[in-house]
Amino acid sequence: MITVFGATGTTGAPLVDTLLAKGATVRTVTSDPSKLDALKAKGCDAVAADFTDPAVLARACDGAEKIYLVTPAHLDMRQWKANVIKAAKAAGVRHVVVATGLGASPKAGLTFGKWHSETQELLKQSGLDWTFVQPTYFMQNLLWQAATLRRTRCTTMIWAAPWPGSTPATSRMSPPRR
């Protein structure tokens, strides 16, 4: 079984759909109890969990061979991930895939990069098998800014290239209709 933390989020939701389509047995974990019925309707086990509740995290990891772990960006995300890693190890999980961020390093220029690095190091030291997924920016995050972009009549945004020599991302948006 594969347990997916963040099962209703940007990366977790499509992962759940892909795993189910491939016939995997999936347990989904969300912090929003109102989403449990929809997750169960997809054909997976569903658990509402608080990242600070060891008993619920243990139940979420119980019987899982692998987990996918992503948390919301939050001041407590390092502790939340540490709590899940501890629960996964205690439950006998073999492999943990963690969504961190591109450039995660103790020397990162951004606080999030340092925080993600701490989680990566903790998982490396746990004795569990691990994989780090390090996305940069999700273009769908621009949807959160859509109202502002329309109101200010911004029609083109150019995002800096993530590393030297790469191509910057461009996002175009239709101007407001009159």
Using pLDDT thresholds of 50, 70 and 90, give the confidence band for residue 109: confident
Q: Tokens 């019987």 map to which residue?
A: 63
Say how far residue 110 (Cα) sits from the centre of its chain.
Answer: 18
pLDDT, tens digit, 9 for 90 and up, residues 23-75: 999 999 999 999 999 999 999 999 999 999 999 999 999 999 999 999 988 88
CB-CB neighbours of 89 under 10 Å? 15
Q: What pTM, to 2 d.p., does this model score?
A: 0.79
Name every residue whose Cβ is closer than 8 Å to that of residue 82 and which is 6 or more positions away in sequence: 119, 122
Kindly state the average pLDDT of the residues 96-118.
85
CATH class of 2-133: alpha beta
The partner residues of 14 in beta bridges, in order of sequence, read: none
27-32 contacts at long range (C-beta below 8 A, 24 or more positions apart): 27/1, 27/2, 27/3, 27/60, 27/63, 27/64, 28/3, 28/4, 29/3, 29/4, 29/5, 29/60, 30/6, 31/72, 32/8
Tokens linked to 142: 């621009």
Mean pLDDT score of the chain: 84
Nearest to 31 by CA among 53, 16, 14: 53
Helix (H, G, I), strand (E, B) or coil at 67: strand
Q: Where are the domains of the chain?
A: 2-133, 139-172
**pLDDT recorded at residue 37:** 97
